[in-house]
Amino acid sequence: MLYTPIQFRNVTLKNRWVMSPMCMYSSENGMPNDFHLVHYGSRAQGGTGLIILEATGVEPRGRITNKCLGIWNDEQANQLKKIVDFVHQNSESKIGIQIAHAGRKGSTWNNIQISEEEGWETIAPSAIPFNTTERIPHVLSIEEIKEQVQNFKEAARRSVEAGFDVVEIHGAHGYLIHQFLSPLSNVRTDEYGGSFENRIRFLLEVVDAVNSELNDNIALFVRISATEYAENGWDIEESVELSKILKTQGVDLVDVSSGGNIHGAKISVFDGYQVPFSAQIKNEANVKTGAVGLITDVAQAEDILAKEEADLIFVAREILRNPYIAVQGSFKLKEECFFPHQYTRAKK
Ligand code: FNR
């Protein structure tokens, strides 16, 4: 199963291992550099079915820190293309990008908000900071919401030009899109707040705008937080309803994470702790899903696929420790997996 290919549009992944997006805080002015080439390139050498680049800002204020990647100009996209080309030329991996806007969680360093002078004025659907110690974010006007939709659209156009195989919209972890989804961070009284239909409007507009730039050779994923672990907050039932709609809007996979929008929320964390959310969304919304969160081992990953709890296995911290998780898993299971031809003498 882990080594059974899967297709999204015309994009075929050779196996089910996905490098989960992870911020590396290593760029200047949003530009990728040699670190990123080696970092992502080595996961391609490791046979990973799909590599998804870290949260990449659709505008400067969309970054979490001023060391985050960006895709708001063509120079950034041209540099990103070098990573994409390396992966395509030297491996069988596919490569995606997570396009993101941090909203009220931007302008930080080490998870602590930095000043407006060193950072920037943050934006949000409502005048509610993530943490009470933080500045009140600027409330987006309707016109400014439309500008943000346009920023995502242009990021998608640049992603296509850079040659990515997948675009993932970051709708999770308390960033701008999630801030709109949650009734706890979105108390707007216009068409972008209040009812479920209104709170999901921004995400659906982003999905449509992004999808209008994509084609059959580039698939669309959306990462969501299935619950924010807070009373009266965004929850799994709303996630199921949203996922049904995302499917009808052409989203190919829902990447199921959780949390991140409510400061101090209590989360019980254990091996595969988010897998049940993935399973529920997959079964009830009848959509392909990715499972993520403390999945570290081949047998565990196989079990999730065997139980049809997810279609893809996203791995974050374990793939930082072990870029060769896909190759090593294939040795264990005696399955075929890409291994660099230069390394043939090390093949078991
Ligand atoms: C993350 N995570 C994350 N998620 C995301 O959607 N976009 C991102 O840019 C990041 N950045 C990030 C950086 C680092 C260093 C870590 C460790 C994590 C979350 C990540 O993708 C994943 O969902 C969680 O880490 C849970 O998976 P693991 O680590 O238990 O496999």
Structure tokens of 219? 């698939």
Distance 345 CA to ligand 1 centre (A): 33
Distance 274 CA to ligand 1 centre (A): 13
Residues marked as catalytic: 170, 173, 175
- On whether residue 73 sits in a domain, the answer given is yes
Instruction: Give the per-residue pLDDT at 197.
Output: 98
Instruction: Give the per-residue pLDDT at 167.
Output: 99
The residue whose CA is least distant from atom 2 of ligand 1 is 22
Instruction: Give the per-residue pLDDT at 224.
Output: 98
Q: Report the amino acid identity of residue 170.
A: H
Instruction: Give the per-residue pLDDT at 59.
Output: 98
Number of structural domains found in the chain: 1
Instruction: Give the per-residue pLDDT at 182.
Output: 98
Please tell me if the CB atom of residue 23 comes closer than 6 angstroms to any atom of ligand 1: yes
Instruction: Give the per-residue pLDDT at 314.
Output: 98
Backbone phi, psi, residue 20, to 5°: -70, 145
Q: Are 13 and 338 in contact (CB under 8 A)?
A: no
- Ligand 1 atom closest to the Cα of residue 55 is 9
The residue whose CA is least distant from atom 26 of ligand 1 is 293
- On whether residue 147 sits in a domain, the answer given is yes
pLDDT in tens, 263-316: 999 999 999 999 999 999 999 999 999 999 999 999 999 999 999 999 999 999
Place of tokens 């995302």: 246
Domain span at residue 318?
6-346
- On whether residue 286 sits in a domain, the answer given is yes
Instruction: Give the per-residue pLDDT at 347.
Output: 85
Residues of the chain under the 70 pLDDT cut? 348
- Ligand 1 atom closest to the Cα of residue 64 is 9
Please tell me if the CB atom of residue 21 comes closer than 6 angstroms to any atom of ligand 1: yes
Distance 136 CA to ligand 1 centre (A): 26
CATH number of the domain enclosing 324:
3.20.20.70
- On whether residue 1 sits in a domain, the answer given is no
Statement: the pTM of the whole predicted model exceeds 0.85: yes
**15 Cβ neighbours under 8 A, 6+ residues apart:** 2, 3, 4, 5, 47, 48, 49, 326, 330, 337
- On whether residue 75 sits in a domain, the answer given is yes
